[in-house]
Structure 1
Amino acid sequence: MIENYPSQNSSSNGSHNSVASFPQNQPVRWAEEQEDDWSFQEFLSILRRRSLLITSVTIAVMTLVVINLVVNQKPPEYEGSFKLLVEPVNDDPKVVDVVKDFNAQQSSLDYESQIQVLKSPELMKNTVKQLQVYYPEIDYYSLIKSLKINRLEETKIIEVRYQSSNPKQTQVVLERIAQNYLDYSQERKQTKLHQGLQFVEKQLPFIQNRVDQIQKELQLFRQKYSFNDPETQVAQIALQTAEFSRQKQAIDLQLAQVRANFAILQGRNGATTILNYAPLYQQLIIQIRQLDVQIATESTRLQEDNPSMQTLKDQRASLLPLLRQESERLLGVKFAEVATQYQTLEVQSQELAKIERKFAQRRNQLPVLARQYTELQRKLQIATESLNRFLSTHENLQIEISQADIGWQLLQRPTTTDIPIDAFSSQRNFILGLVASILAAIGVVLLVEKLDNTYHTVDELKKKLKQPLLGNIPFEKQIDTKKKRTFNQKSPLANIQSSSSQATARLAVLLDKEYGDPSTHFSEALRVLYTNIQLLSSDRPMRSIVISSAMSGDGKSTVALHLAQIATAMGQRVLLVDADLRKPTIHNLSGLNNLWGLSNLISTNLPVGEVIRQLPSMKQLSVITSGPIPPDPTKLLSSQKMKQLMADLHNSFDLVIYDVPPLVGLADASLIVPHTDGLLIVVRIQKTNSSMLKAALDNLKISRLNILGIVGNGQKSTNNSYYYYY
């Protein structure tokens, strides 16, 4: 892990030759909100943003719906119905009492079975023959396909429905079916009911004797073995055994941990870990290191035989035996503690194993008795259920025999509607299809939104990141042709935007050479960004900042260049340094050559003045390009010469802006930020991957680097801002 400390003075020649020290180890105030719920306003914003996708999906689904309606359009169907009372309403008090004794809430008729009987080929055979005289095309299967028989909720009424393309045929079919059902109810015989009743009365005594015998066996079993429910005892023993097993597993886990700790202690890393947390040992280490520093410092001005040098060396030599003694004492104490803990846990593990074996023996004795007890209960339950069924059947048969002479009643005569049943189905299906299309489109949009890992607006960026939002750089499509032509004539910066629009964030072009046009929304956003940066520190102005992004293409280099131009236009002595030694961009954006730059300053003795250049369109702005790309950029950026160079630049300019590579996967920013006032992170709206940004911020949190804030880049301008009021 790379630790970042404030740089020490390299020499005693004054402040101009010293490396500046900046506030470090500030906590990264960042957190990603875990709630993915959308508010109503956010939901409307998503729909507006994805309106084109909603329209496309809706049109596609509606096209399929219309095609399906046209293809599956059927001729009009006419439906008729009639209703039958298939059970009499009991008005006789005696009959009512008998029914209540059986089951006051249930009917004596199995309606599901009765409906299947009414649809059976045997019962419908005569109906089909009678109908074929008038309609030869009717057969049993076509009749059943169009016939619907249902019970009306929990009533004793059956409703019969039939539909066909001919209303007259529908009426004739219903009349014939109704008459045949009434005849069926009158012609039913009681023969099967009486036979069933005789069989039940014959079997009841045997079933009753079987139940009594099993009850006696169960009673003798309980008296013999002195328990009522062996399953409860088995469960209790199982719970106790499981509890002891859990405790033993916990002890075994602790034993394994103690063994692992013992193994670690025997290794070099374990001893080092113990000594790192020993106050006295660390104090001795600190004293020895301080003496080493003093010896190194005095050696630069004194000879080896100087009394002061000898005194310091003697002091250091006297501390070394104390250090070894303290190390041996600490390690001995720790080994004794681990050994004692190991013995204690081993004894506990053995005791728990003994108890677990005792419970296992007790548990093995119960399964045989439990199986016998369960078998007796199962036999008793089966016999009791069989007895109850026979008793219930006996009562049902008696009630049905008493009511067998009462036929079914026709409550509603067969009637057929003159309006087709699907008259409004096309319109209804079209409306339902439209609603389904819209809902499907919204569902697709929400799915796409869930899969989208970018930030769509600055408001969303502020909501999900706990970092100050210092600026919102807009995306402007319209550029005045006349200004653009003038800009191209006066400055090569006009070519910057054409080359950087594909490689970077496609920021709007600043057409005014001096950045003084207050009507440019883009330049005003940069002024706001610069002002917010300066307001971050109340005691002293910001002298140096680092600009980076989570990933490439977010526009960090373009923001760095334009921010430097804005600061220069506002009277600051600004230096823009391209510290991206991997994929430099500043020289392309500024129209400068890259023959000499930062890499030359670090790797050679080239004077700083040889590589500092002025922007062609703004002479007051100084630029240091990256120079030739080195084979190992990290080595150059972490060098002492780079730190000294940054301190010199910090003392020579009012503001130094460093453009560094992206944060994810690279350590370049972590090497530069500790020696500046902080880091500015550029986030591209609708492009920066939120997971990449989260990984970058997590790495910054570990390094404890000072994050000034974030800059939203590339959001389309809206006309409702305070700026447009002026």
Structure 2
Amino acid sequence: MDIEQQFYHSSTKQNGQSIEGALKAGLDQSQDVNEEEFDATWLFAVLRRRVLAMAGVAFALSVLAGGMIVSKSRNITLEYQGSFRLLVEPPTAQEVLARQFILAQGSNPDVQRASVQSHFLDYETQLRVLRSPLLMEPIVEKIKTRYPETNYYQLISKLKLEQSKYLVDGKQQGTKIIVVSYQDKDIDKIQYILEQISQSFVHYSLQQRLNSLQNSLTFIDEQIPSLQQRVDNLQDVMQQVRGDSNFINPSKNANTLEILAINIEEQRIQVDTQLAQAYALYNASQQQLIAGNPISVLAQDTKVNERLLLRIAENDANLAEALSHFRDDSAPVQILKSQQQELLNEARKIVEERVLPKIEIDIQKLEAQQAELLLSEHNLNQKIKDFALNTRRYNDIERELEIATEVLKEFLSKRKALEIDAAEQQAPWEIIHPPAIDLNAGGQPRSVTETKTKRELALAVVLSSLMGVAVGFLIEVLHTVFHSPDEVKNSTKLPLLSSIPFVKSLNKSGKKRIKILNKAQDLDGFTEWVQPEYSASFLEAFRSLYTNINLLNSKKRPIHSLVISSATVGEGKSTIALQLAQTAAAIGKRVLLVDADLRHPQLHVYLGLNNQRGLSDGVTDYLSLNEVIQQSTLEENLFFLSAGQFTPDPIKLLSSQKMQYLMGQFQGFFDLVIYDTPPLVGLADAHIVAAHADGLVLVVGLEKTDRLIVNQAVDELGISGATVLGVVTNHLKKGGSSKSSYLKRGYASQRMGLVSESHELR
């Protein structure tokens, strides 16, 4: 059979652009939907995969925590609680306004800190003071008369003081009531201790109030003389600054200085411009004089040098006329040239003795004027700077005087308010709820140590369940492989072309092929064995893969050659390439399957063909296509090019010009060329072949391939410039795709030649 004569190129006319656009639009829409549902889908998938681990951890932790809670509940001693309440501030607005308190203490008082407050007390500080040994030790001494075993630390450990609070719009607001409670197993002891504490607190409040008022009055009386003296001093300093700096109207003085500065700056700019023009004129005149052209210098001032310029022009005219009638060495021409030279010497002398000295004098005048303006500008700027400093000092003194005056007024007002408050002799803290034991709904003392075993057990179960879920998710995070096609699609950002389901019956076939490959390395051919039966969903996955690739065709970039590769070994790329080629050949396409894996070739074992001559021989030995291409017995339109003899440098062979030439011939003779290559990561073979093919399909094995390795392969493909058409997921187990259940209904399993096994031999 003459393959070269029978191979022909046949193309099916399709509306490639419209199909490609529709496919891309569909992929974009599905991507938007998937991004919205990805989080929920991933969570449910993790829960489904790790449910046993989560349940085991939750059960173990629940049993352990439950045992500890039950054991602890059996050793609890019941205690009771009593309390009383103190009103420590006036409840009405009129009484609050009567309270004045000076908070500022120091040599530099700040009256803004001395104000009438809605809460007279700093409750956090007051509660700590009430619990301090200074107040509690006398109380402990009284309690010891009845309960000698009592001490300060024992009392404090069971005593609780807090500010009564309530909710306003969901936020806690403090009241003017302090709640004092005490716990113990002896009810009589609780009652006695609370009575002693309440009496001591009321007495403390009375003494504290009187001391506070007296201290405040003393402090204000000490501060008023110094405040008055400060006000007087600031007024004297302000008057002195106003006289020294003439600050009758600071704003008007500032405007005058600003206008004067602008005028000087404008004059300086004008002088600078004139000086630059004079320098330019002087330099230009010198250059013209050096160049032997003094006439152009004299022409700058025609009025002064008019006669000489006319004589030079007349001589030039005569010389031109003489040259038109006489020879250059004639007497008339020589006379005129001599006259011309004399005129030029005269012009040079005028420039050197009159023009240039005049320009130099102008430059000196302008430089002197410039220096004078710069000095004036400097002096004015210094004056403006001094004026700004004096103005700032004046404003600072004025502001300090206002503050000092306001402080003095506030202190005088506070002293008067404190004198009124001290004269009224208001009552101290008031007990609004006397000491009493807390009772339950039945009127019996309520225990504060009631067991909460059921609630604690429920909480332990909940926390254990959450911990189990967390452990499950931790296992999921540490196990960095892909579990579903959606994860592959979202991670690689590539279209999902198809998902190949897992077929358990392929395991035996894979082991058998490994044995044959190991025993038949040097044989010329192999006998085809009986293939296992495949489900409808398995076969339909390859039809779907071929259809999606075919839809990517366009008139501008048709797909006639494909590279099938994966990130690592063992992901099923070789057998997927074989089954895709068989699927395309079954529908009438002329397909060439090329085993471009020159390192570990094995497609010839799958097809039962020999590997005596192949791709490496065609490149190195210049064999014809008839000599290296074999026709498969599985499909009439399926042709196969094996890897050929072993080559020590496959990179050199694949990147050769002959290899590119053969790839072009393949596309011309066949409708579709499929290359099976080594893995992407760590090897350059697939990148070299993909660079000259129409596209690459990336195979990813589920529950097998590490995410980082796949992402690394995608990044390397982006660097190499290969066109990645999409990804194909392999080893999809039951329940992983909604299509599988649909395809299984009403379709029996069928046999279709050699197809891709779930477990790749590599």
Are 1:125 and 2:137 an aligned pair? yes
Partner of 1:207 in structure 2?
Answer: 227
Partner residue in 2 for 1:555: 572
> In structure 1, what is the equivalent of residue 48 of structure 2?
48
User: Which residue does the alignment assign to 1:532?
Assistant: 548
* CA deviations over 1:266-310 (Å, ceiling 9, x no partner): xxxxxxxxxxxxxxxxxxxxxxxxxxxxxxxxxxxxxxxxxxxxx
Note the C-alpha offset of 1:178.
1.9
Tell me the distance in 2 between the aligned counterparts of 1:76 and 1:367: 78
The letter for the 1-side match of 2:537 is H
Matched letter for residue 458 of structure 1: P
**Are residues 1:475 and 2:505 paired?**
no
Partner Cα separation in structure 1 for residue 387 and residue 491 of structure 2: 61
State whether residues 568 and 620 of structure 1, in contact with CA within 8 Å, keep that contact through their aligned partners in structure 2: yes
Rounded to whole Å, the distance in 1 between the matches of 2:700 and 2:609 is 26
Number of residue pairs matched?
Answer: 561
Matches within 5 A, 1:340-351: none
Could you say if the C-alpha distance between residues 455 and 513 of structure 1 is closer, same or farther in structure 2, counting changes exceeding 3 Å?
same
Structure 2: tracts of 5 or more residues without a match: 102-113, 166-173, 252-373, 439-444, 518-527, 747-762
Q: How does 1:577-596 map to 2 (within 5 A)?
A: 577-586=594-603, 596=613
**Structure 1 residue matching 2:118: 3-state secondary structure:** coil
Q: Are the equivalent residues in 2 in contact too, given 1:496–1:591 (CA < 8 A)? A: no
Name the CA distance, whole Å, in 1 between partners of 2:467 and 2:664.
Answer: 60
Letter of the aligned partner of 1:459 in structure 2? Answer: D
How do 1:242-641 residues align onto structure 2 when only pairs under 5 Å count?
394=415, 397-398=418-419, 401-402=422-423, 404-417=425-438, 418-423=445-450, 425-442=452-469, 454-463=481-490, 467-476=494-503, 478-479=504-505, 495-496=512-513, 513=530, 519-537=535-553, 543-567=560-584, 574-586=591-603, 596-605=613-622, 623-641=640-658
Q: Confirm or deny that 1:116 pairs with 2:135.
A: no
Query: Does the 8 A contact of 1:577 with 1:656 survive in 2?
Result: yes
| Structure 1 position 149, deviation (Å) | 1.4
Deviation at 1:712, TM superposition (A): 1.7
Cα separation, 2, equivalents of 1:381 and 1:426:
68
Structure 1 pair 440–185 and aligned structure 2 pair: CA distance change class (3 A):
same
Alignment partner of 1:657 is 2:674: yes
Q: Which amino acid aligns with 1:522?
A: F
Are residues 196 and 569 of structure 1, via their aligned partners in 2, closer, same or farther at CA, if it must alter by over 3 Å? closer
Shift of residue 128, structure 1, vs aligned partner = 1.2
Q: Distance in 2 between matches of 1:406 and 1:118?
A: 19
Question: Amino acid of the residue matched to residue 521 of structure 1?
Answer: S
Residues 1:460 and 1:175: Cα distance change in structure 2 (over 3 Å): same
Deviation at 1:716?
1.8
SS at match of 2:727: strand
CA displacement 1:323-347 (0-9 Å, x = unmatched)? xxxxxxxxxxxxxxxxxxxxxxxxx
Secondary structure at 2:175 match in 1: coil
C-alpha displacement at 1:143, in angstroms?
Answer: 0.9
Q: Equivalent of 1:136, from 138, 141, 148?
A: 148
User: What is the match of residue 685 of structure 1?
Assistant: 702
Q: Supply the AA of the counterpart residue of 1:115.
A: L
Distance of 1:557 and 1:377 partners within structure 2: 91
Letter in 2 for 1:479: S
Q: Which amino acid aligns with 2:538?
A: F
Q: CA offset at residue 658 of structure 1?
A: 1.0
Separation in 1 of the partners of 2:242 and 2:645?
Answer: 97
Q: State the distance in 2 between where 1:499 and 1:222 align.
A: 111
Map 1:166-205 → 2, pairs under 5 A? 166-185=186-205, 190=210, 193-194=213-214, 196-205=216-225
CA distance in 1, matches of 2:684, 2:578: 22
Q: How far has the Cα of 1:635 moved from its partner?
A: 1.8
Give the Cα–Cα distance (whole angstroms) in 1 for the partners of residues 411 and 477 of structure 2: 62
1:151 aligned partner:
163
Q: Please say if residues 534 and 541 of structure 1, whose CA atoms lie closer than 8 Å, have aligned partners that are also in contact.
A: no
Question: Do 1:61 and 1:437's aligned partners in 2 also have CA atoms closer than 8 Å?
Answer: yes
From 89, 101, 106, give the equivalent of 2:118: 106
Structure-2 residue corresponding to 1:326: none
Distance 1:112 1:663, change over 3 A: closer
| TM-score normalized by the length of structure 2 | 0.59
**Per-residue deviation at 1:495?**
1.7
Please tell me the residue identity of whatever aligns with 1:411.
Answer: I
Structure 2 partner of 1:302:
none
- From the superposition, tell whether residues 158 and 402 of structure 1 become closer, same or farther in structure 2 (CA, over 3 Å): farther
CA contact (8 A) 2:590 2:670 kept: yes
For residues 198-242 of structure 1, what are the alpha-carbon distances to aligned partners after superposition, in whole Å with 9 as ceiling and x for unaligned? 45224313223214433653576578396999xxxxxxxxxxxxx
Identity %: 38
1:712 paired with 2:732, answer no
Offset of residue 137 of structure 1: 2.9
Q: State the secondary structure of the residue aligned to 2:86.
A: strand
CA drift of 1:147 comes to: 1.5
Q: Quote the offset at 1:559 in angstroms.
A: 1.5
In structure 1, what is the Cα distance between the partners aligned to 2:85 and 2:455? 29
Between 539-548 and 157-166, report the one with greater CA deviation: 539-548
Select the residue among 733, 739, 743 that pairs with 1:723. Answer: 743
Deviation for aligned residue 1:164: 2.9
TM-aligned CA distance change 1:113 to 1:568, over 3 Å: closer
Letter in 2 for 1:48: R
Q: Is the 8 A contact 2:492 2:711 kept in 1?
A: no
Q: Residue 8 of structure 2 contacts residue 670 of structure 2 at CA under 8 Å; is this kept in 1?
A: no
Cα distance in 2 between the residues matched to 1:364 and 1:452:
72
CA contact (8 A) 2:90 2:96 kept: no
- Counterpart residue type for residue 85 of structure 1: L
Q: How many angstroms apart in 2 are the aligned matches of 1:64 and 1:375?
A: 72
Give secondary structure in 1 for the equivalent of 2:575.
helix
How many angstroms apart in 1 are the aligned matches of 2:201 and 2:235?
A: 49
Residue of structure 2 aligned with 1:671, choices 688, 693, 699: 688
In structure 1, give the amino acid aligned to 2:181.
Answer: R
The corresponding residue for 1:5 is none
- TM-score computed with the length of structure 1 as normaliser: 0.62
Q: Secondary structure at the match of 2:191?
A: helix
SS in 2 for 1:138: coil
